[in-house]
Amino acid sequence: MSKERLKKIEISGPGINFDYAHFLPNSPKCGVLHGHSSTVSVTVVGKMVDDMVVEFGELKKMVKKVVDSMDHKLIVCRKYLSHLDNGKVKVEFDGVGGHYEFKLPTNSVYVIEFDSTVENISEHIAARLREMLPPNIHRIHVRMSEGFGKYATSSL
């Protein structure tokens, strides 16, 4: 039986970053609407195909596509939204200092299924990459910062 050649590659660095707004109603500090600048690095482990796990340029393109779709948006859990007419959504929550309610264009909002913690956002990025990457990739690790010196890593 031939040994499977599993290898690991990583991309990070300039251009793989995004800025976003969010709120975490249950957090004493993050229970207000505020923003973060994040960097992302992605490590993939997979079987070698033609002596490569995946071409760096291809991987970077996929990661950029995902992070660019979230850039300068309000990342928000579906449970806080209600849809209005004319391409608008209403966002509502009880956070630090009281009740928040605002209406904004649908295309300025990026909806996820869980509260927008760095743990959940990095997992969401990993799940989107899983759909795009070829089947020889066995494992995806997404490391994402939330401001300076704070990181979460999600593995799928």
Q: Residues in the site for Zn ion, rule: CB under 5 A?
A: 30
Q: How would you label 84-103 residue by residue, b for 16+ Cβ within 10 Å and e otherwise?
A: eeeeebebebebeeeebeee
Cα→Cα distances 86→58, 81, 90, 96, 104, Å: 37, 15, 12, 30, 10
User: Which residue, 30 or 125, has its beta carbon nearer to Zn ion?
Assistant: 30
Taking the complex as a whole, how short is the minimal distance between the CB of residue 140 and Zn ion, in angstroms?
24
Q: In what helix (H) or strand (E) does residue 34 lie, and over which residues does it extend?
A: strand 34-47
Asked if 16 contacts 67 with a C-beta cutoff of 8 angstroms, the reply is: yes
The nearer residue to Zn ion, 38 or 140, going by C-beta atoms, is 38
Residue nearest to Zn ion (CB): 30
Closest CB 109 distance from Zn ion, rounded Å = 16
Least Å distance between CB 34 and Zn ion? 6
Quote the tokens at residue 62: 């996929």
Torsion, CA 34, CA 122, CA 71, CA 17, rounded to 10: 100
**Least distance between Zn ion and beta carbon 70 (Å):** 14
